[in-house]
Structure 1
Amino acid sequence: MTEQNITTASDRDAASQLVKSWVALWNGDLDIADAIISESNRVHAAMFDGGDGSAVGGASGMKDFVAQMRSLMSDLVFSIDVGPLVDGDHVVVRWVATGHYGGGLPGAGAPVGAEVTFHGTDILRLSDGKVVEYWLNADTLDLMTQLQVGAG
């Protein structure tokens, strides 16, 4: 039998608090990034520009990443669907985001003001109470379909 990583109640409480701050960051509280994102944070994500997320570094990079997403839908609201699920130093949440398209995405045919809802899963690796690694798996196909990218 292999040794299992047992997560304590205090670990779960700390992770839940961090997830609340994480959601607040994605809901537009960019200043909270300095408190919850490590300067050595690594991002793993399929980016709109075709990148893999490795260019998003530290708290300032996360602020820019969140601001870029929110520039498409300034009223974007994220909420947790499932989780947080805690396993050692990893925290997983399934989220849903809803907002109204504000325009500005090249190739999008959706009218400004169109309501958009999409889902994703975030995996966060924590160290010393901060996010040091972030994997994003969002349903970008659903988002782009709703925004009518390439349609027409």
Structure 2
Amino acid sequence: MDNASTSTSTMSPAREAATNLVSQWMALWNGDYAIAEKIISEHNRVHAAMLDGGDGSAVGGVSGMVGFVTQGRSLASDLTFSVEVGPIVEGDYVVVRWVATGHYEGGMPGAGAPAGTAVTFHGTDILRVADAQIVEYWLNGDTLDLMTQLQVGAP
């Protein structure tokens, strides 16, 4: 029997749905704001350590997420997010490890890095999904690594 015909497998419906959602999630983070209404619930809650010291609870719904993504991209408009690991699917949860690369454009208070500095940083997103939309989002981004590259607080 031919090995190729015996080793083919199909993705489970849950894995296929998660992979599709993560592709759209990455598209949102890569600047495709039109996708937001399709994948973000109006009741979405964000859990994240924010640069202003907040916990992310002020970011809610579709418009809040679009604003959050826009703010995240404001330091590097060429920022490109891609999946490193995942999606990992467990019940209603989807986990993805990502990497972001781009070039700093300036404007971060206290940053010593010149505009044009290449940046790369990583993070992990946990998404809780209901009715094919993200209803809860936990962000764990390596902000220390990014701030170090931007020389924030450096003498």
* Bin of the TM-score, shorter chain as denominator length: over 0.9
- Which residue of the other structure, out of 82, 85, 95, is the alignment partner of 2:85? 82
The corresponding residue for 2:30 is: 27
Instruction: Quote the RMSD (CA, aligned, Å).
Output: 0.8
The corresponding residue for 2:102 is: 99
- Which residue of the other structure, out of 60, 65, 69, is the alignment partner of 1:66? 69
Percentage of pairs with the same residue: 72
Q: Give the TM-score normalised by the residue count of structure 1.
A: 0.94
Partner Cα distance (1:32, 1:102) in 2: 25
The corresponding residue for 1:3 is: none
Unmatched segments (≥5 aa) in structure 1? 1-7
What is the deviation of 1:48? 1.0
Aligned residues: 145
What is the deviation of 1:86? 0.3
**Equivalent residue letter for 1:51:** G
Query: Could you report, residue by residue, the CA deviation over 1:114-146 in whole angstroms, capped at 9, with x for unpaired residues?
Result: 000000000000000000000000110000000
**Equivalent residue letter for 2:91:** G
Q: Give the TM-score normalised by the residue count of structure 2.
A: 0.92
- SS of the residue corresponding to residue 72 of structure 1 reads coil
- SS of the residue corresponding to residue 20 of structure 2 reads helix
Unmatched segments (≥5 aa) in structure 2? 1-10
Partner Cα distance (2:18, 2:95) in 1: 10
The corresponding residue for 1:136 is: 139
- Which residue of the other structure, out of 121, 124, 128, is the alignment partner of 1:121? 124
Partner Cα distance (1:11, 1:114) in 2: 40
Partner Cα distance (2:19, 2:99) in 1: 17
Partner Cα distance (1:128, 1:16) in 2: 15
Greater than 2 Å deviation, 4+ residue runs: none
Query: Could you report, residue by residue, the CA deviation over 1:12-68 in whole angstroms, capped at 9, with x for unpaired residues?
Result: 101110000000000000111110000000000011111100000001000000000
Partner Cα distance (1:39, 1:93) in 2: 22
- Which residue of the other structure, out of 9, 20, 41, is the alignment partner of 1:17? 20
